[in-house]
Every structure is written in structure tokens, then in C-alpha cells.
Amino acid sequence: MELLHHFKELTIRPKNAKELKGLILQLAIQGKLTGHWRKENPGIESASELLKDIIKNKEVLIKSKIARKENAKKEFLKDKVSFLIPETWISKNITEFYYTIGGKSNQIQSKNYSETGKYPIVSQGKNRIDGYSDDESKLLKITKPIIVFGDHTRLVKFIDFDFIIGADGTKILSPFDGVDSEYFYLHTSSYDLSSKGYARHYSLLKLEAFALPPLEEQKEIVKIVETLFKEVEQLEQLTVERIALKEDFVTSALNQLTSNNANQEWSFLQEHFKPFFNETTNIKKLRETVLQLAVQGKLTADWRANNPNTEDASVLLKRIQEEKAQLIKDKKIKKEKALPEITEEDIPYELPEGWVWCRLNEILHSSFYGPRFGKEEYVDNGVPTIRTTDMNSKGFIKLKNPPTIKLTEEKLKLYKVEKGDLLVTRTGSIGTMAIFNEEYDAIPSAYLIRFRFLIVNIEYVFNLMHSPYGQKSLGLLTNTVAQPNINATSIKDIPFPLPPLEEQKAIVEKVNAIMGLCDALEQEVQQSQAHSEMLMQSVLREVFEG
């Protein structure tokens, strides 16, 4: 069988464990796990003979009023399961095989639950035991394992101890003699009632068909399922531990990169790329670390050693300030209120020689909020608007049937984005950024901020904004429930690590090369996941289509 053949391979991803257990249940109730057992045990009495004993037992219990007959709307009852079953099995409506026990007199209200107490309370919560009580008068004495079915939660529990029933719509199902309680539990667990509304799931359960094997085979199925479930859980635990160890190593190695000799640590890390960067979370950490190294100047230490005569960033900053002053004098941009000077408390880390700290506003040409328009200004063949949904996390803009606006030449000149402008979303996917590198005219929507810079490499600015330092400065690395707020003023105030212009270009080239490697690693992960998914689908087809 394909499932068993690829069993270990299918468990290498933790999310597959739940699907695997579901598959095992489906195989179990179809008799596909015990084909070999049936060949070795040809003389076993068929389930049709067993049914006669179950009916007799049922009649005795109903007559003595221990059990009551379960009723469901006959026109909706299912007597036949939707799959082929072995010849020695039978299929009947599930209500033929169990009765409910207990009543309101056995139930206890949730207000009487406690964390301590002599007797466990079982209700339809997620835990096997939901509370405790000392009220022995409500204790339900049982002589064999029974099933708890949650009418609202659809959770099924297998109970093999004395307990008190919680008063919350919990149903206690007791299989008749001839139906193994654990097999009944497995079969009931296999039903999918999740897409059938919220209330009265017990009524829906009563409509289902039930596949009954001979009693000896029921016990064998339970044994096989328990064995397979344990193996899934063991493999899942090993996978979780392996991933955790890998993530610990990656975190430690990346921390070493940012705090020690970057070149030395980088050489060590490269040797372990394949085995340690095959999880998307680890690749994400690698991207973040690379960007942090970039804005700390650690990616270009060799470049600086090989280019000792590079113009100092302080000279670049002075040139930017002079150009900005001229633009203000020519009334091309407005003079803004001076931001406070950067103090020692504002500086998050030490810069390499030749770099300087400045406020982001010092290198800005201008910033601009996207305009709002009235309905009458939207036309079929106007200037396209760039919306937040047209921008992706990698910094690209792709217009998707954008609304278009009728603009005068004067307004177009005022509003339009130019090549090299940085767009930042201030609502929706807050903090998403993109560089406008297109040839067509376009204007930003009202939910975007447009930033235009002076004599800096815009890709370096983009990388800085996406680094852990940049994200923290933007207020995007927060654990608070409240949505962060981004505005032009808060962005302008950010302390900005400015390298020489030539080094900015070198940083961008280094970052792009490593991000290309990350893309390749991610593609390998996606291919591996796709293979795992295809394998799972193949097994699903085998199970459900035969």
C-alpha cells in the first residue's frame, strides 16, 4: 500500500501528521489495514452473524429500559457507507450499534466545576477531563469504555474511567456487545461533520452509516491503528525536535554573524546552507540578518579595505544639504521645521569609519500623501493610480486593473511618481514598500506615502527600511495588539546610517547576490513541499478512489 510504503517520508513535515492520522482512520474503516490478517484468518465468523447477536442484545436492553431506541428521520438515514468494504463486513446506520446512557440527573453544572476534587468531569471541551467535583451522587459508574460526543464541538473522546458528565449537551454513547468500544471510537472519529453547520451535530451523527467488521477484526484494526498512530507521533516528535535544533543553530549562527567577525562566520555558515536553510522560517531569519549586516557595514568590510580612498559620507551629506538648500531657495520644495540633532541615545550601533548618522529627512527631497478624488474625477482612460494591492513585499509594482483619474498637466506634475520614488503603505498591509521604476505616468492612491530622495541609492534605502533596525524604527516589530501607525513625520525622524555613495552601491550588489541565494533555497523548499503534497494527494486518491 502506498501509504505504508511512503510512511516515513510523509511524516517529515509536522503538518502532515494530522492528515496521516486521518488517512489511517479512513483506511482502517475500509478494511484496508487488515487485508493480510483476513487471509491468515479465513474462518472468522462474518459480521452479518455478529449483527444477529447485537440485535438480540439491543432488544434486551431496550426492553429493560437500560437503553432507548435512537430515532432519526428515516428519509435521511444512511445504511450504506460510501466505499467498498470486505465481504465479511456489513454496513448499517450507526444508531444500530450503540445507545445513549446517563441523563440530567447524572450531569453537573459548570459553575460547580473545580480544579481539585475527587471525581473527574468530562464534557465536550478539548481536554479529556474538563474539571473535578466531589459530588459522588452524580458519578456515572461504567463497566466498560464508552464514547463522549460533543454536540457543538464535534469532539469525540474515549473514556475508560468513572466520571461525572458536564451539563453542556455532551452525549454519552455506549456500543452494544459485539461492537468493540475502541473500534466504535475510531469509526466515530472519522466522520467529518465540520461543514454541516454548528448546532445539533449529534442529530447529524445519527444519520451516518457505520462499517462493522467481525469482532476479532475490530480488535485487530484497533491494534494496528494504535501502532501506526504511535509511529506517526514518534516521527512527528523527532521532526519537531530536529526543526527546533536546526532553528537554535541558525539563530545562534546568525547572532554570531552580527556580533563577531562577519567574514569568518559567513564562511562557516556557507558550509551548512543546504542542511540548515531548508525551512522557510530559517531562510527568513537569514534574509533579516543579511539586511542587518548590510546597514551595519559588515557586508562591505572587505570592500572598504580594497577601496581606501572612497569619499567620506560626511562629504556626501554636505553635498545633499547644499542641494536641498538650493531647491528651497528656488521654491521647488518647502522648507521644513528642523529636526533635533542625533544624540548618543539615538544611536543604536557603531558605524564603520567613513559613515555618518543623519535624520532620514536630511536626505529627503520631499514626501507626499496620495491625494483623494471625487467620483466624478474617475474616468476610463485617465492616469492610473497605484494602490496598496499593486505592491508586493519584494518591492515591485504591478498594476491590476487600476482606477484611472482625469488630471490637468499641472496636477499630474504635482502628484505623479517619478523613477526612483519610494512608496510606503500607511494602511492595510502597513509598511509595504516599493520602488517606482516604471516608464508610465502614475499617481499614488490615498493610502500611500511617496518619498523622493536626494543623491542616495534608493535600493540601499529600501534595504535599510526592511532590515530589523528599519522595521523597529518604523514601529513594525511590535507585540502589541494595536495596529502600528506609519506617517511621513515619524519616518522622517528615523536616524539613518549613511555610507559613501559608492559603498551604497556595493552594499546593494552584495545584498542582491545573497537574496538570490535565499530565493534559490526557498525554491528548493517549495519544491520539497510540492513533492510532499503530491505524494499526500496520491495517497489520498488511492484511499478514496481505490
| Residue 105 cell numbers, joined | 440527573
**Rounded Cα distance, 473 and 360, in Å:** 11
Higher pLDDT, 198 or 209: 209
| Cα 317 versus chain centre, distance | 44
Question: Residue 415 to residues 86, 384, 391, 430, 462: CA-CA distances in angstroms?
Answer: 73, 12, 18, 21, 21
Per-residue pLDDT, averaged over 108-137, amounts to: 75
Backbone angles phi, psi at 157, to 5 degrees: -125, 145
Question: Residue 459 to residues 129, 291, 369, 462, 520: CA-CA distances in angstroms?
Answer: 57, 12, 21, 5, 21
Same fold, 45-213 and 311-499: yes
Are 356 and 317 in contact, with CB atoms under 8 Å apart? yes
Residue 91 has pLDDT above 50, yes or no: yes
pLDDT tier at 501, thresholds 50, 70, 90: very high
The superfamily CATH assigns to domain 311-499 is: DNA methylase specificity domains (3.90.220.20)
pLDDT tier at 314, thresholds 50, 70, 90: very high
Residue percentage of the chain with pLDDT more than 70: 77
In terms of pTM, does the model score above 0.75? no
Q: What's the helix, strand, coil split of the chain in %, to 5?
A: 45, 15, 40
**Rounded Cα distance, 447 and 425, in Å:** 6
441 CB contacts (<8 Å, ≥6 apart)?
A: 383, 384, 412, 416
For helices 458-466 and 280-295, give the axis angle rounded to 10 degrees.
130
Bridge-based pairing state of the strands 98-100 and 422-425: unpaired
**Architecture in CATH for domain 45-213:** Alpha-Beta Complex (3.90)
**Rounded Cα distance, 244 and 42, in Å:** 48
For the chain, the structural domain boundaries read: 45-213, 311-499
Q: Count CB-CB contacts under 10 A for residue 135.
A: 13
194 CB contacts (<8 Å, ≥6 apart)?
A: 154
Backbone angles phi, psi at 203, to 5 degrees: -60, -35
Higher pLDDT, 122 or 508: 508
**Rounded Cα distance, 236 and 106, in Å:** 39
Which of 347-361, 432-446, 508-522 is the least confident region? 508-522
The single-letter code of the amino acid at 495 is P
Per-residue pLDDT, averaged over 352-375, amounts to: 89
Tell me what the pLDDT averaged over the chain comes to.
Answer: 79
Residue 47 has pLDDT above 60, yes or no: yes
Are 42 and 67 in contact, with CB atoms under 8 Å apart? no
Q: Which long-range contacts (CB under 8 A, 24 or more apart) does 512-517 make?
A: 512/459, 514/290, 515/287, 515/290, 517/273
Residue percentage of the chain with pLDDT more than 90: 18
- pLDDT the model gives residue 533: 61
DSSP state of 104: G
Residue 516 has pLDDT above 70, yes or no: yes
- pLDDT the model gives residue 357: 94
- pLDDT the model gives residue 241: 63
Per-residue pLDDT, averaged over 62-81, amounts to: 75
**What radius of gyration, in Å, describes the C-alpha atoms of the chain?**
34
Residue 198 has pLDDT above 50, yes or no: no
**Rounded Cα distance, 219 and 180, in Å:** 7
